[in-house]
Amino acid sequence: MKHPTATLVVSCPDQKGLVAALAQLLYEHGANILQAQQHTEATTHTFCQRIHFETSELAVSRAELEEVLSQECARHRMRWRLTHSDERKRVALFASKFEHCLADLLLRHRLGELPCEISLIVSNHLDLEPVADQFGLPFHVFPITPETKDAQEARELELLDQHAIDLVVLARYMQIVSPEFIAEYPERVINIHHSFLPAFIGARPYHQAYERGVKLIGATAHYATSDLDEGPILAQEVVHCSHRDSVADLVRKGRDVERLALASAVRAHLEDRVVVVGHRSVVF
């Protein structure tokens, strides 16, 4: 893609003429639509649209486009955001002791799969510092105990703020992030839960899966909300298993689906393909 592109994502109560209004506005200002998806949530009558367009022949500045969009969206009481492909999101990866999700995201980033800048890595343990070093990334350790948790989270938030972080990815962070932390990054914290939610909520899901004798295990990537494991689901993957799989085998197979689900969710977020409606997500 030589020229930068832009993406407009909107949602609002459904009414007639919304598609026409936005398409007309973009056309008048010189945008060429490359891809557009529109969906209306049947139960809440919520209109959702994503428009991906070329900006090489835009007749106005980005600021001016923002301004006219702001006025139009206000008229329809739309939630909206406009992003540009050359203003890459800044991402912080949080990990703990398991490296597979972290290493997978770093590798994908190096391969060009994730359109973002990975600014830094945060952990509550020192174990993964070598991985950060391998990829030449700053590694920040915030050891956490019940007593220090509030203070450490405050320091983490300060760090994120200094780096103007857009997205936090909990890549098997193994720590419950406080509602206060989440509130600072609404729909901007992605977590990977190592099971097929809503099955096996809580601790040691692979042990639970083994005990239950399931024939499939899965992983779920979702936006973190104050309700643990209850945020809008972004991606889910599964893999078949059998009686031959020990708990260790389930953990191994689980790593594969965790990596796939998390990478898929992070990509969807980075490409601005997600609209949250209530506690469900539309992933265009």
- Based on the shown chain and the rule CB under 8 A, indicate whether residue 212 belongs to the binding site for its own copies: yes
Any idea what the Cα angle at residue 20 is, between residues 14 and 26, rounded to 5°?
Answer: 115
- The minimum distance between CB 150 and its own copies, in angstroms, equals 31
Phi, psi for residue 78 in degrees, rounded to 5:
-90, 140
Q: β-strands 167-170, 89-95: how paired?
A: parallel
How many C-beta atoms lie closer than 10 Å to residue 181's C-beta? 20
Task: Give the nearer residue to its own copies in terms of CB position, either 177 or 214.
Answer: 214
**Of 62, 76, 88, 100, the one binding its own copies by CB under 8 A:** 100
Q: Binding to its own copies by residue 215, rule CB under 8 A?
A: yes
- Of residues 24 through 53, those in contact with its own copies by CB under 8 A are 24, 26-27, 30-42
Point out which span in 11-19, 139-147, 152-160, 167-175 binds its own copies (CB under 8 A): 11-19
Q: Taking CB under 8 A as the criterion, which residues in 125-184 touch its own copies? A: 134
Q: Is 190 in the site for its own copies (CB under 8 A)?
A: no
Kindly calculate the radius of gyration of the chain based on its CA atoms and give it in whole angstroms.
20
Is 229 catalytic? The answer is yes
| Rounded-to-integer distance, Cα 237 and Cα 147, Å | 36
Token code pair at residue 53: 């367009």
From CA 1, how far away is CA 267, in angstroms rounded?
17
Q: Does 64 bind its own copies (CB under 8 A)?
A: no
Mask of contacts with its own copies, 255-284, x by CB under 8 A? xx---x------------------xxxxx-
Query: Which is catalytic among the residues 127, 133, 227, 229?
Result: 229
Site string for its own copies, 117-136 (x = CB under 8 A): -----------------x--
Q: Hey, what amino acid is at 228?
A: L
Does position 71 bind its own copies by CB under 8 A? no
Complex with its own copies: residue 77 or 244, whichever CB lies closer: 244
Q: What are phi and psi of 125, to 5 degrees?
A: -135, 165
For the chain, counts of helices (H) and of strands (E): 8, 13
Applying CB under 8 A, the residues found at the interface with its own copies are 14, 16-20, 23-24, 26-27, 30-42, 57, 99-100, 103-104, 107, 110-111, 113, 134, 196-200, 211-216, 218, 232-238, 240, 242-244, 246, 252, 255-256, 260, 279-283
Residues classed as catalytic: 229
